Amino acid sequence: MSDEKSEQVELSILEEYQKPSLFSRFGSKHKSSQSVTTVTIDLEVKEIIVIKLDEHRELHLLNREDEKLYERIRDWMNDHPVATLLDTVDKFSSEPPGDAIAKVLHNFPFPDFILKFNIDEREKRFKKTKQSKRSRRKNFERLLLKSGLIVEIEQDAARENEFFVKLYAPFHQLCEQAQQIKLKMRLDEKKITEDIDILIPKAKFHSIITKYFTHTVDFKKQAAFFRTNKLRQFQGAESDKSEGEIILNFFSMARRNLLVHRMIVTTNQITKDVELGGVPIIVKRKIDSLSLKQLMKEKVFTKCYPLHDGPDKAEEGTPLSYMNIRAYLYEKWFKSWKRQPFETIRLYFGEKLALYFSWLGFYTTWLFLASIGGVAVVIFGLMDAIGAGSLGEDVDSVSVLWDNALTAPYAFFMAVWATLLLETWKRNNSKIQYDWDVLDFKKEELPRPEFYGTTLRRSPITFKQEIHFPFRLKFQKILISGFIVFFTLGIVIVSIGVLLIFPKIWIHYGNLTSFITGFMNLVAILILSVIYKNVARWLTNFENRKTYSQYEDSLIIKTYLFDFFNNYSALFYIMLFKQKYILEIINYEELATKCEYNSCMSELTIQLAIILIGKQLIGQFKEVLYPWIRSKTNKQQILDELNYLKSKYAKSGRANKEVPQWAHDERLVHVDSAIRSEYEEMIIQFGFISLFGPAFPLAALFAWINNTTEIRLDAFKYVSTLQRPVGFQVQDIGMWEKIMGIISFLAVLTNAIIIAFHSNWMKLTFQKFTGDNDDLLLVVRLAFILVFEHLVFIIKLIFAYLISDVPKSIRVATEREHYIVKLALEDEVPALDEYLAEPNDTSLFDENGELRLPKKKNIVSNIFGKTETNNQKYGGIVIE
């Protein structure tokens, strides 16, 4: 088999096909106006070397050197039949990619990543065309091998026309990727010892309570950006560990899938020689048709996922220390109602998912405080109504439960609560950033595969040519997108208005009208939500955002705008316009609908309760009851499929008769944008409680119950029912934090309006001073709003000033970490101790007043070599 052909590489000459666009005049894909000429050079098509491992498995390599290495490892293993994977890796640790090839030969059960494809009859007929699935798959495999990955193909035992592509990353490639993305890793504690206990904040009397509101920080840890040449300085690569142990265990599975995922999504970027303006240069060429997302979209590959580290349930009686991390999380996260094991969640799923659950737990804890206040309002109202004998069965008499003397203080509390929640979360997030080593995280922004440019420009950062989408075209797209967004929001408002302003069909139901309107509004919200999410996604795709963060932020803004008007329009209408104000707006009394009760407070309560509780019940049905019913009805089918799978693998002639992990995980649900939708659901809930909480004080209690259950159900979902997500890193919750800030600002105004204009108790209190003078009553109400919002805003500013976003302990720990890293990894000269000298101290001068200098230096620096120290203790830190 010839391994090279003297011709242009097939994957470098595939031109991207162009699709006609509805908005082609606003920036469709077209050729750059600049002249770019491909230089005719010797490119090569490297044939993939296929090595048959057994009847069902093949090893694919690209270089003859790797094939020879494979043969040496195979021969050595034949000579040492009892050698373990660790023995083999230890033996060939100095010959990359020997560790990855050793895993293949040992049939290692946990590849770093899995792709899957199937070969149908149509593909067999058209296998020789350049754009066939087979051809594109082969080219993509070349790219994977070129990037340094080792590829193994295994036939699916259950379906013979389907194949698993198992990807293994050599250790040296993982180190290279970790260094490129500036991955922070923990330093070896044995290399750096500190007398640090005196600097750690001591637990105080209130720590028992505050531990539920704040993240616990490990102040003894130190971390630094990974450097390959300083490998032995990091945890997991201690001097007492062999090279094989380091290679196999240094990177956790979450870190490995993060690094390998980056290799996969960037593998379609290759270098190429071109002429630009007559000058030959080397450029980076992105092959859009061979991007992973495009290949998945066109079913060239059907599955792509990292693996769980074993079954989700351990055998009965297995100690926790012997469980895999997945089973441990099942026991200590899903089945336990104690504090969430955030560190374990982070180690297994990565910082992105762990941060969501940390935020959700923090938010839910604060909901408990709000629910205490809400329950106190209701209990006070109940006792007051019973004492006065005014409690009846009609809505107006029941409304005293939430419309009483504590309603106004509760509204004030909720307005401040939203601010305290946000400010304390920022502070808590800074602790998380330090503890999880993402404080200095700089997200590497890769262009989205869907992004296209229409011209070239010189990058102001790198001074290199880059694909560019001009601002003029970008502005046109954003303008069109904005117009469609506002037009769609108008449709939302009209749709809700039809239900609220024109209820003539069911008006004869009397007091039930508000309940009927509320339920119909809930149905409309659920239907419109599905429609507008698709609209938001389509518009964001149309805008041609360059990076994932820009795309996510744009999508979140649109989605939440739709959510805001869709979920809150009815409540704002009742709060602001209903009753006598709507008569003045539409000037047609028979068409307008006044509040059904003595005030709009009761109707606002009914609408809020139906929408909030209804959405939560439907959500729990989708996440709990429906899967439970489905599992019960399909139990036998699931068991039959599992038994069929087991029998197929048992009879397939494979060395390992057990069903492999990739076959189990293939049947789990793929993770897509689950985190964004989870945040979205919670932020909508936060809006209901912050903006309209005084109208229904029990809203926080229902939300707390829902979220407490939601945490455990989501834990089960991610541990047991979903494929493992890639362990992405993040620093914060991003755009959602800004949205929460806007909501907390609006909450001050909405709470003031609810109390001033819709509380019967407050109205009666005002009338003690105004009498029956409606004009004076309006002035007092407006004055109350002015005083209320000014007072709350002043308190918000005070709290924002007093509650630092970054605690002093974290600032000190961060500076200390930077200093220690410089000592350990950059050979910086350590600082010296200082002391306070007496004013009359003359020890540095002789009897003649001449200054005396030290006879020898403690630290000797050589500008041509390494700084030399005497391995002594400097300020509590020993550098070995």
Amino acid occupying residue 236: G
Identify whether the C-beta of residue 465 lies closer than 8 Å to the C-beta of residue 457. Answer: yes
Q: Compute how many other C-beta atoms are within 10 angstroms of the C-beta atom of residue 136.
A: 23
- Residues 741 and 618 placed together within one structural domain of the fold: yes
Domain that residue 100 falls in: 49-211+225-305
Shared domain check, 363 and 255: no
Asked, for residue 825, whether it belongs to a domain, the answer is: no
* Regions of the chain short of the pLDDT cut 70: 1-45, 121-131, 190-212, 275-277, 389-397, 442-445, 497, 499-514, 579-599, 631-632, 635, 673, 856-880
**Token pair listed for 736:** 């959602």
Task: Render 78-123 in DSSP notation, one character per residue.
Answer: HH-TT--HHHHHHHTTTSTTHHHHHHHHTT-S--SEEEEEE--HHH
Q: Which residue has the tokens 């609908």?
A: 593
Neighbours of 862 (CB within 10 A): 8
Q: Is residue 879 part of a domain?
A: no
The sign one gets for the Cα dihedral 135, 137, 143, 149 is: negative
Domain contains 874: no
Report the alpha-carbon distance of residue 170 to residue 150 in Å, rounded.
Answer: 8
The predicted structure's pLDDT at residue 598: 62
Cβ neighbour number for residue 321 with a 10 Å cutoff: 6
Please check whether residues 500 and 643 belong to one and the same domain: yes
What HEC string does 342-393 produce? HHHHHHHHCHHHHHHHHHHHHHHHHHHHHHHHHHHHHHHHHHHHHHHCCCCC
- Cβ–Cβ < 8 Å for 799, 420: yes
Q: What is the length of the chain? A: 880
DSSP 3-state assignment of 8? Answer: coil
Domain end (from 305, 334, 349): 305
Residues 369 and 288 in one domain: no
> Residue 817: how many CB atoms within 10 A of its CB?
21
Give the pLDDT of residue 220.
84
In a domain? residue 708: yes
For 876, the token pair is 């509590």
Residues 220-245 have pLDDT tens digits of 888 999 999 999 999 999 888 999 99
- The tokens describing 504, both together, are 């003539």
Residues 273, 380 within the same domain: no
Q: Cβ-count burial of 660 within 10 angstroms (0-12 exposed, 13-18 middle, 19+ buried)?
A: buried
Last residue of a domain, one of 809, 829, 844: 809
**Is 273 a member of any domain?**
yes
Q: Supply angle C-alpha 336, 338, 341, rounded to 5.
A: 85
Regarding whether 371 and 236 lie in a shared domain, the answer is: no
Based on the fold, state whether residues 511 and 620 are members of the same structural domain.
yes
Q: For residues 419 and 482, state if they share a domain.
A: yes
Q: Are residues 665 and 735 in the same domain?
A: yes
Residues 168 and 72 in one domain: yes
Residues 761 and 776: their CA atoms lie apart, in Å, by 17
Are 294 and 378 part of one and the same domain? no
> Measured between alpha carbons, how far is 89 from 87 in angstroms, rounded to an integer?
6
Q: Decide if 569 is inside a domain.
A: yes
Q: End of a domain among 769, 784, 809?
A: 809
Q: How many domains does the chain have?
A: 2
Whether 392 and 253 share a structural domain: no
852 within some domain: no
Q: What is the distance between the alpha carbons of residues 747 and 412, in angstroms, rounded to a whole number?
A: 10
Which helix or strand (DSSP H or E) is residue 37 part of? Answer: strand 36-38
| Token pair of 131 as six digits | 């754009």
Q: What percent helix, strand, coil does the chain show, rounded to 5?
A: 55, 10, 35
Rounded CA gap, 461 and 804, in Å?
A: 34
30, part of any domain: no
